[in-house]
Amino acid sequence: MWRFLIRRLLLLLPVMLGILIVTFVLVRLIPGDPCKAMLGERATEEKCNAFRERFGLNDAIPIQFVRYFGSVLQGDFGTSIKNGRPVTDVLAERLPMTMELTFFATLFATAFGIALGVISAVRHNTGVDVGAMVFANIGVSMPVFWLGLMLAYIFALALKGTPFQLPPSGRLTAGTDLPSLLKVWGMEDAQGIQRFVVLLISNSVLLNSLIQGRLDVFADALRHLILPAAAVGTISLAIIARMTRGAMLDALTQDYVRVARAKGLAERAVILKHTFRNALVPIVTIIGLQVGGLLSGAVLTETVFSLPGVGTQIVDAIIARDYPVVQAFTVLIAIIFVVVNLIVDLSYAYLNPRIRVS
Amino acid sequence: MQESASAPFAAAPARPAEQLRVQSPFVRTVRRLLRNRSAQVGLAIITLLVLIALFADVIAPYAYDQQIRQSGLRRRSPPCIHLLGCDRDKPQLLMGLDSNFRDLFSRVVYGSRLSLQIGFLTTGAAILIGTLLGAAAGYAGGWADNAIMRIMDVLLAFPSLLLAIAIVSVLGPGLINTLLAVAIVSIPVYARVVRASVLSVKEMDYIAASHALGASPLRILFVRILPNSLTPLIVVGTLGIATAILDAAGLSFLGLGAQPPTPEWGLMLGEERNSVFNAPHLVFFPGIAIMITVLGFNLLGDGLRDALDPRRKA
């Protein structure tokens, strides 16, 4: 198992390099001059040259890449062309929102999806199965941004004045004040990785409010997350439920299940120990694949619910041709996603010993 | 050996002629499929959609870009259906007017053409390429597996919509570029699924038996392994048509896909998303159209899954 783990970790290196190359090349291929995009269409050639000189855009592409690669290794993503702020600050500001949203959406989708799928498979061809699968089929068919809009309409307008009313947009109720942890801990001068980590925790409203003991703010932030997380998670919930049901039905037809029943095991043990464990490989695969979908969903949903996350930022940055920001966000999201995929692969090996032997 | 194996058959009493008639696996599958409830509903929905797309000119009362300006008709007028008691002096508007005085029903009807094309074209291309790559990787193993899957990993390392957004920003906004982007980003999904099931099928005893009998690697891959790996691919493939339609709609929603006045459902949602609180019908109907289309493919996929699995009774 250890050799397998080390080999997989080594294999990550070329993938990381690939991500950096793809992002770098794609961003450079975006048509249009970043100078004109930043300084306006009427910027003089002189001004543009100074601009390109300042951001190193006059050098050959390979040189730009080597320089970029070197600074990324040192945790430096450059400064935003648009507003001159360090990109790490922008990252630390936007990432926590998207991570919170994706985390709760994943939790929602996995918990309900697996439960729904297992129940459906065990009660195959009953009313419960049909009902669950009708729900799953409808859930998987909805565009996430449409579901978001509809949820906002239902819970903010139609249910207004009832206990079920939920806020349709924003991260916190307007006027709520939550000081930055940099200030609270007196670390305003902190630099580098320390500053980045503190900013990351500070900008996660949920963590920050818990640390400061502001349970009212925590509850408010959770309330603002319910609709977006449900919107983002519903498609994945349905996909996981379908996959779980399919894998369980497959596993239920296997001989070892018949043997388990024949030797008199309780049905509960047959389902959980013999069937579910063997159905887990495809289920884990599909959950791993969902994380990308959930992050994409977060991009669209943030637009619908006006949330200050990665999604809204990356679309803005692409439109503004803010190279460093686009690069940093894409690389970071890609790395998160690769690590999740690694965990999926490792769990394959854990779940099916035949794979790791080969 | 051979004699003793065939002996029980020789000894068996002759059966009536009709029982001996061999039913081809294809016919059996189609029969099972047509008996399957999900497949029936899915096929019905898709057939209906195809008919709507084919006869859009006949069904839609107005052209998709025609503005209807009449006294008493406001921008974003709600639906007006004569049968439900709407004033007969007003023109019948099944889904109301949009922000540009266009008949939403006509636009939704024309939109079916685009969505079907998007689904079939992108998924077909992605499945073809993804299956070949995934099968080659899973079966060959070793460096070929590593090379193919690391490239797939790099593509998969980007959330599909984000990569599609990036590709579209390079190619430029538009429907064709959206199709390309959505097809490219969905290849790795199929490659992974096919590889995963090839890996697990490869370990089965009957593959070892084929090896022992001297079957060539290509024969084992295409005749023994791939057909047994197809079931998950079909389930994921139908979900893939869904994803393709949804991703394309998402791009259009963000303004990167189809451009106005194209009657693309995602674009219609994006254009009207700020009207959700005062004219919810403008957001409701295009979304329902996307949902029903995607639902049709999902249900058909479910039915296919049951019909294609020889271990499960219909």
pLDDT value for A114: 92
Q: Residue A169, CB half-sphere, CA atoms under 13 Å: how many? A: 13
Considering CB atoms only, which of B154, B159, B169 is closest to A292? B159
Question: Other C-beta atoms within 10 Å of B72: how many?
Answer: 9
Please give the residue that has the higher pLDDT: either B125 or B165.
B125
Residue of A nearest to B168 (CA): A30
Is the CB of B172 less than 8 angstroms away from the CB of A31?
Answer: yes
Residue of B nearest to A243 (CA): B235
Please provide the average confidence, as pLDDT, over all residues in chain A.
Answer: 83
Residue B285 has pLDDT above 90, yes or no: yes
Please give the residue that has the higher pLDDT: either B6 or B287.
B287
Mean pLDDT of B23-48: 84
pLDDT value for A151: 92
Instruction: Give residue-wise pLDDT tens across range A247-275.
Output: 888 888 888 888 888 888 888 888 888 88
DSSP string covering A308-348: -SHHHHHHHHHHHT-HHHHHHHHHHHHHHHHHHHHHHHHHH
pLDDT value for B14: 52
Is the CB of A153 less than 8 angstroms away from the CB of B276?
Answer: yes
Q: Which residues of B touch A335 (CB under 8 A)?
A: 157
pLDDT value for B8: 46
Residue B304 has pLDDT above 50, yes or no: yes
Chain B window 32-61: which residues touch A at a Cβ cutoff of 8 Å? 38
| Strongest mean pLDDT among A19-33, A93-107, A331-345 | A93-107
The C-alpha of A183 sits at a distance from chain B's nearest C-alpha, in angstroms, of 34
The C-alpha of A81 sits at a distance from chain B's nearest C-alpha, in angstroms, of 18
Closest-CA residue to A75 (of A223, A194, A249): A194
The C-alpha of A298 sits at a distance from chain B's nearest C-alpha, in angstroms, of 10
Chain B window 118-157: which residues touch A at a Cβ cutoff of 8 Å? 141, 146, 150-151, 153-157
A–B interface: beta-carbon pairs under 8 A: 173
Considering CB atoms only, which of B150, B200, B270 is closest to A11? B150
Task: Show the CA angle centred on residue B257, arms to residues A135 and B110, nearest 5°.
Answer: 70
The C-alpha of A153 sits at a distance from chain B's nearest C-alpha, in angstroms, of 6
Residue B221 to residue B140: CA distance in whole angstroms: 9
The C-alpha of B203 sits at a distance from chain A's nearest C-alpha, in angstroms, of 8
Residue A227's pLDDT band (boundaries 50, 70, 90)?
very high
pLDDT value for A310: 85
Please give the residue that has the higher pLDDT: either A249 or B21.
A249
Residue B4 has pLDDT above 70, yes or no: no
Is the CB of A246 less than 8 angstroms away from the CB of B276?
Answer: no
- What values do phi and psi take at A214, rounded to 5? -95, 80
Residue B3 has pLDDT above 50, yes or no: no
Return the minimum-mean-pLDDT range out of A73-82, A229-238, B256-265.
A73-82
Residue B97's DSSP bridge partners are B103
Residue A144's pLDDT band (boundaries 50, 70, 90)?
confident
Residue A293 has pLDDT above 90, yes or no: no
Residue B239 to residue B299: CA distance in whole angstroms: 10
Residue B116 to residue B124: CA distance in whole angstroms: 12
CB of B233 within 8 Å of a chain A CB? The answer is: no
Reported ipTM: the value is 0.76
Please give the residue that has the higher pLDDT: either A223 or A4.
A223
Residue B15's pLDDT band (boundaries 50, 70, 90)?
low
CB of B166 within 8 Å of a chain A CB? The answer is: yes
pLDDT value for B16: 55
Is the CB of A143 less than 8 angstroms away from the CB of B280?
Answer: no
Chain B window 184-213: which residues touch A at a Cβ cutoff of 8 Å? 189, 192-193, 196, 199-200, 203
Percent of chain A with pLDDT over 70: 96
Residue B1 has pLDDT above 50, yes or no: no
Is the CB of A18 less than 8 angstroms away from the CB of B276?
Answer: no
Mean pLDDT of A37-47: 74
pLDDT value for B2: 44
Is the CB of A143 less than 8 angstroms away from the CB of B290?
Answer: yes
Residue B106's pLDDT band (boundaries 50, 70, 90)?
very high
Is the CB of B165 less than 8 angstroms away from the CB of A315?
Answer: yes
Residue B55 has pLDDT above 90, yes or no: yes
Residue A323 has pLDDT above 80, yes or no: no
Residue B284 has pLDDT above 90, yes or no: yes
Interface test with A, best of B143, B228, B246 (most A CBs within 10 A): B246
Q: Which residues of B touch A140 (CB under 8 A)?
A: 239, 242, 294, 298
- Determine whether B226 is exposed, middle or buried from the number of CB atoms within 10 Å of its CB (0-12, 13-18, 19+): buried
Return the minimum-mean-pLDDT range out of A46-55, B45-54, B301-310.
B301-310
Is the CB of B235 less than 8 angstroms away from the CB of A246?
Answer: yes
Please provide the average confidence, as pLDDT, over all residues in chain B.
Answer: 82
Contacts of B71 (CB under 8 A, 6+ apart): none
Q: Which residues of B touch A304 (CB under 8 A)?
A: 273
Question: Other C-beta atoms within 10 Å of B283: how many?
Answer: 25
